[in-house]
């Protein structure tokens, strides 16, 4: 048999196993799901063993565990380290899901005539990392595995991978590999397969603006003391100028600018602005002056409010002048912005622009650097060759706007450039209601991953 035939013969079971994994609500952000997250780790370990690793273990951390498994076929053979995450984002708002987030169903859609599996985590990242487990199983079953494999599947990606850093630092020998392979990104489409060569970094923080020391009657006191929500809105509005440039002094100091040649190349990726607008139901795109949509997402930094609250938001009208206003703010970063420095610049500026009538508190959350992946490595060439063989097309290198902060950690600590071979689509609704993952993407991904192994082994020998 071949890999393709093995996948075809076993695809119903490959889907069933993914469905079982998706039924576990492993929401890392919400303490109510603590036991479920641990259950997902155990599930992953069991499946690694069933799929053929020599040895698998659940490695405790200060937070959620990391599942590690390996199969060493020959110490002289190349080693591929697979990274993924079994934790998922919270599912709310629940009322906007067409089917319950942890009761996976396969439905056909216009984009997915062969079906898509709807569930929280289906594309981010359970459906994607599980492709590696099944590609591994297929290679063993077909006696085609010629590389050593190490799996490292974590449970805290969606909350900032805080304990992974230490784990990687401490386990450098155990994690020793020739390449890191990650499927936690998107491709342009099944017609236009792509490999991600850049991710943005992130600085995330929360702000609190306090006016009077308690909520007040908005008639008795309105007009005489600062309303912290009014003030916060004004402060936030001032963080962009009329060209949608960010106004924080020093914010752009470390930003890498690209020459027109690179920008031209980036803009050659297939992208239809009209399509983009139609899918999102917006009349116009919106962003930094002087850059295309591809550039705004791929190579430019941003500042966005992710949530804002305060005062009365219940039924009807309550006349109140609130004591406090809050917002969660994220900044997507590009090379070479440093997230702690950017958070510091934000805090300094935000406190400076606050009127004396309010107090401001800024609490930094997680963050991480951007990453750029070189395209001249054996790993990248193996990805290109695998895509060529699986899709009959040349892979398009893309820079994506999302963040996987550990990508840069692998580069720094392990000295390895991760290959971001993702099979999701931007329309998969990750982090959003009705998240789904195409069945065709899942099965094609399994095939492409197996081909990556083949080409990585071949190219390593030619070196």
Which of 17, 70, 157, 184 is an active site residue?
Answer: 157
Q: Does 125 bind Mn ion (CB under 5 A)?
A: yes
Q: Does 184 bind Mn ion (CB under 5 A)?
A: yes
Closer to Mn ion at the Cβ: 79 or 128?
128
For 441, phi and psi rounded to 5 degrees?
-65, -40
Instruction: In whole angstroms, give the CA distance from residue 384 to residue 421.
Output: 10
In angstroms, what is the minimal distance from the CB of 131 to ligand BES?
14
CA 55 from centroid of its chain's CA atoms: 28
CB 188 within 8 Å of CB 428: no
CB 226 within 8 Å of CB 304: no
Question: Pattern 138-177, binding to Mn ion, x per CB under 5 A?
Answer: ----------------------------------------
Mark the segment that binds Mn ion (CB under 5 A) among 100-108, 117-125, 197-205, 233-241: 117-125
In angstroms, what is the minimal distance from the CB of 427 to Mn ion?
15
For residue 443, give the DSSP letter: H
- Closest to 368 (Cα-Cα) out of 393, 327, 332: 332
Closer to ligand BES at the Cβ: 295 or 400?
400
Sign of torsion over alpha carbons 46, 52, 58, 63:
negative
In angstroms, what is the minimal distance from the CB of 27 to ligand BES?
13
What is the Rg, in whole angstroms, of the alpha carbon atoms belonging to the chain?
23
For residue 159, give the DSSP letter: G
In angstroms, what is the minimal distance from the CB of 42 to ligand BES?
21
Q: Which residues bind ligand BES (CB under 6 A)?
A: 124-125, 157-158, 160, 184-186, 199, 202, 366, 400, 402-405
The item of ligand BES, Mn ion, none sharing an interface with residue 155, based on CB under 5 to 8 Å by kind, is none
Q: Is 225 exposed, middle or buried (0-12, 13-18, 19+ CB in 10 A)?
A: middle
For this structure, is 376 an active site residue?
no
Q: Does 124 bind Mn ion (CB under 5 A)?
A: yes
Closer to ligand BES at the Cβ: 211 or 301?
301
The item of ligand BES, Mn ion, none sharing an interface with residue 203, based on CB under 5 to 8 Å by kind, is none
The item of ligand BES, Mn ion, none sharing an interface with residue 160, based on CB under 5 to 8 Å by kind, is ligand BES
237 contacts: CB under 8 Å, gap ≥ 6? none
For ligand BES, which residue has the nearest CB? Answer: 402
For this structure, is 87 an active site residue?
yes
Closer to ligand BES at the Cβ: 248 or 420?
420
Which of 36, 70, 87, 158 is an active site residue?
Answer: 87
Instruction: In whole angstroms, give the CA distance from residue 63 to residue 447.
Output: 34
CB 178 within 8 Å of CB 418: no
Q: Hey, how many other C-beta atoms are within 10 angstroms of the C-beta on 364? A: 16
* Residues annotated as part of the active site: 87, 157
Write out the residues near Mn ion by the rule CB under 5 A.
Answer: 124-125, 184
């Amino acid at each position: 048999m071949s890999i393709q035939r093995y996948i075809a013969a076993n695809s119903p079971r490959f889907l069933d196993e993914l469905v079982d994994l998706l039924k576990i609500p492993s929401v890392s952000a919400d303490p109510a799901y603590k036991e479920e997250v641990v259950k997902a780790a155990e599930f992953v370990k069991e499946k690694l063993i069933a799929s053929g690793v020599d040895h698998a273990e659940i490695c405790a951390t200060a937070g959620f565990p990391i599942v590690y498994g390996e199969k060493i076929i020959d110490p002289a053979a190349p080693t591929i380290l697979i990274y993924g995450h079994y934790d998922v984002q919270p599912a709310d708002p629940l009322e906007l899901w067409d089917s319950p987030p942890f009761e996976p169903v396969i439905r056909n859609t216009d984009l997915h005539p062969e079906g898509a599996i709807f569930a929280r985590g289906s594309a981010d990242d359970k459906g994607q990392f599980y492709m590696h487990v099944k590609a591994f199983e297929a290679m063993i079953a077909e006696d085609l595995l010629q590389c050593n494999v190490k799996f490292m599947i974590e449970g805290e990606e969606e909350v900032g991978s805080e304990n992974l850093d230490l784990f990687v630092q401490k386990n450098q020998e155990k994690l020793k590999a020739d390449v890191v392979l990650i499927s936690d990104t998107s491709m342009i489409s099944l017609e236009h397969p792509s490999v991600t060569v850049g991710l943005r970094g992130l600085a995330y923080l929360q702000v609190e603006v306090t006016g009077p020391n308690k909520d007040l009657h908005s008639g008795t006191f309105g007009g005489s003391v600062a309303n912290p929500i009014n003030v916060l809105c004004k402060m936030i509005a001032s963080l962009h100028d009329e060209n949608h440039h960010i106004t924080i002094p020093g914010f752009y100091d470390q930003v890498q600018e690209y020459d027109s040649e690179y920008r031209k190349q980036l803009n050659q990726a297939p992208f239809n602005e009209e399509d983009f607008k139609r899918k999102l139901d917006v009349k116009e795109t919106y962003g930094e002056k002087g850059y295309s949509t591809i550039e705004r997402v791929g190579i430019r930094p941003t500042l966005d409010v992710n949530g804002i609250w305060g005062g009365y938001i219940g039924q009807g009208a309550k006349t109140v002048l609130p004591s406090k206003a809050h917002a969660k703010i994220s900044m997507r970063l590009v090379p070479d912005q440093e997230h702690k420095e950017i958070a510091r610049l934000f805090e300094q500026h935000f406190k400076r622009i606050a009127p004396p009538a309010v107090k401001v508190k800024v609490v930094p959350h997680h963050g991480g650097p951007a990453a750029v992946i070189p395209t001249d490595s054996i790993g990248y060439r193996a990805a290109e060759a695998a895509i060529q063989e699986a899709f009959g097309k040349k892979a398009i290198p893309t820079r994506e706007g999302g963040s996987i902060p550990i990508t840069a950690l692998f580069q720094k600590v392990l000295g390895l450039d991760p290959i971001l071979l993702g099979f999701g689509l931007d329309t998969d609704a990750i982090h959003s209601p009705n998240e789904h993952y195409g069945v065709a993407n899942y099965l094609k991904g399994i095939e492409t991953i197996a081909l990556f192994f083949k080409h990585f082994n071949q190219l390593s020998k030619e070196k």
